[in-house]
């Protein structure tokens, strides 16, 4: 009984602190109890709070030697973040998440393919993650390359995954591939497209979303301010 009470208090303390943003000394990753207790909405709040700490230069202090010891026997991340490979847009840093908190998949243009979907299915159905975030960023070189129909060999194949976003934005206005506002507009549309693709192309994740066990979110990282705007919350179709 005493152990149950201590566990309950620990989980409550973890959840109560979801909305605030004070820096802390971190000695472990997400525990199994925390992962089981947290909701997708609460995970989103955790990531928002982490980004707030990042933008205010008040990031948590990670005791990595202790975290390594405490996470060596298992991992229970509460989110999967798909991001671009841009060196200035590392999810662990810009969302202020330490070891053991989030799964991270990275590919130029933050596009979804079967390998990435398989990784997301592992992270959610088999490892308990409650949130999937597709995080793009401003002034993205991959987006610009797709806009210009550039690249060669495998890169050109990759950029084709962004073409639908280019087509959508260009159908509403004349775009200039040298204009940052146009590139950012395509980047945001691409994020929306990739989030929608996750739901459409993975029956496993579709079921988890339909059962309200997993949430799909699109986010845009501003390289200048550091702020991440979680601007797109996927809404499952009503039948």
The structural domains of the chain, ordered by start, are 2-233 (3.40.1050.10)
Residues 6+ away with beta carbon under 8 Å from 199:
205, 206, 209, 216, 234, 236
Pick the more confident residue, 71 or 9. 71
The CA-atom distances, in angstroms, between 207 and each of 40, 46, 60, 125, 203 are: 15, 24, 35, 10, 6
Pick the more confident residue, 228 or 12. 228
Confidence of residue 5 (pLDDT cuts 50, 70, 90): very low
Residue-wise pLDDT for 98-128, tens only, equals 999 999 999 999 999 999 999 999 999 999 9
pLDDT at 20: 52
**Cα gap 217→236, rounded to integer Å:** 12
Distance from first CA to last CA of the chain, Å, rounded? Answer: 45
Q: What is the pTM of this model?
A: 0.91
């Amino acid at each position: 009984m005493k152990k149950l009470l201590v566990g309950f208090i620990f989980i409550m303390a973890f959840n109560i602190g979801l909305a605030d943003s004070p820096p802390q000394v971190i000695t472990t990753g997400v525990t199994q109890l925390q992962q089981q207790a947290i909701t997708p909405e609460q995970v989103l709040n955790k990531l928002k709070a982490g980004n707030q700490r990042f933008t205010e230069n008040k990031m948590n202090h990670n005791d990595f030697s202790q975290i390594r010891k405490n996470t060596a026997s298992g991992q229970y991340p509460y989110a999967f973040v798909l991001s671009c490979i841009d060196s200035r847009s590392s999810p662990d840093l810009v969302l202020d998440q330490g070891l053991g908190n989030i799964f991270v998949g990275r590919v130029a243009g933050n596009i979804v393919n079967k390998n990435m979907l398989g990784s997301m299915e592992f992270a959610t159905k088999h490892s308990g993650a409650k949130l999937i975030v597709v995080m793009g960023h401003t002034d993205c070189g991959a987006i610009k390359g797709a806009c210009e129909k550039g690249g060669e060999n495998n890169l050109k194949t990759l950029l084709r995954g962004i073409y639908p976003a280019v087509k959508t934005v260009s159908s509403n206005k004349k775009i200039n591939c040298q204009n940052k506002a146009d590139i950012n507009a395509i980047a945001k549309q691409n994020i929306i497209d990739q989030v929608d693709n996750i739901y459409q192309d993975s029956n496993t994740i579709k079921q988890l979303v339909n059962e309200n066990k997993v949430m799909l979110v699109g986010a845009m990282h501003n390289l200048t301010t550091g702020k991440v705007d979680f601007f797109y919350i996927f809404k499952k179709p009503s039948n």
